[in-house]
Amino acid sequence: MLLDEGFDENTLDASLWNTCHWWQDDGCTIATNNELEWYLPHQVKVSEGALHLTAERSAISASDGKDYRFTSGMVTTGPPAHQRAPKLAFTYGKVEVRFRLPAGRGLWPAIWLLPASENSRPEIDMLEVTGEDTGRLRMHLHPKDDSAPSIGKDYLLPGGASLAGGWHTIDLDWSPGRLDFILDGKRVWRLDGKEVPDEPMYLVMNLAVGGEYPGDPDQSTQFPATMSIDHVRIRRND
């Protein structure tokens, strides 16, 4: 077992988790997505046996020189700010995350893997959900080769069910040449092929707001909105 994190303490374990991407010190965002949030450490809380990433309507003049209308939370096992070594990266294994998501237009919770090399690709998106379409699990592989097309799969929950509100579990089983995506014990996508990553990667979990993918929040979106994580487990393949 590489990681068995149950968030049973009242503080985030700084030996395992960062609260920003490695390229920023005092908060961060992903500008290429035109996201509206600025991630801040105080939007990340551990309480009652879970990790909570909370988005709020909160205007801020950020350290990148831009103004943002929202703040939110994220965690990663990647490198700390301006350092090269990730806190936890691995090649092949099983990642299990038990989560609870918010609903609302413009919310964009995600659970994903990035390369320890600090390149932006390959990228494995275990889970992406847009807040106005919470019955749809979106999964992607963005290959290492920038010229190669991204590969994606949408899974619609049966019977009009939603990923918002209740607890669910997403698993990624990563082996040479194969990715299995498993939701609540059911395999919902298998991807085989040479595009499957074969290099060390680390975990990212975040609650984004706005951007090109989910669209902007509107007046119906309720804030604060929280993405909660009950546990994270990472096992090596035998």
Among 87, 105, 92, 94, smallest CA distance to 14 is for 87
CA 52 to chain centre: 13
pLDDT above 70: percentage of residues in the chain: 100
pLDDT exceeds cutoff 90 at 26: no
Going 174 to 234 to 232 to 110, the CA torsion angle's sign is negative
The residue extents of the domains of the chain are: 3-235
pLDDT exceeds cutoff 90 at 218: yes
Is-contact 113 171, C-beta < 8 A?
no
For residue 82, name the pLDDT band (cuts at 50, 70, 90): confident
Average pLDDT, stretch 163-184?
Answer: 97
Average pLDDT, stretch 76-94?
Answer: 94
Average pLDDT, stretch 67-78?
Answer: 97
Report the CATH architecture of 3-235. Sandwich (2.60)
For residue 238, name the pLDDT band (cuts at 50, 70, 90): low
Ranges of beta strands (E only) in the chain are 3-5, 37-39, 44-47, 50-61, 67-72, 74-76, 93-100, 107-115, 123-128, 136-142, 151-156, 168-175, 178-183, 186-192, 201-209, 225-235
- pLDDT tens per residue, range 97-130: 999 999 999 999 999 999 999 889 999 999 999 9
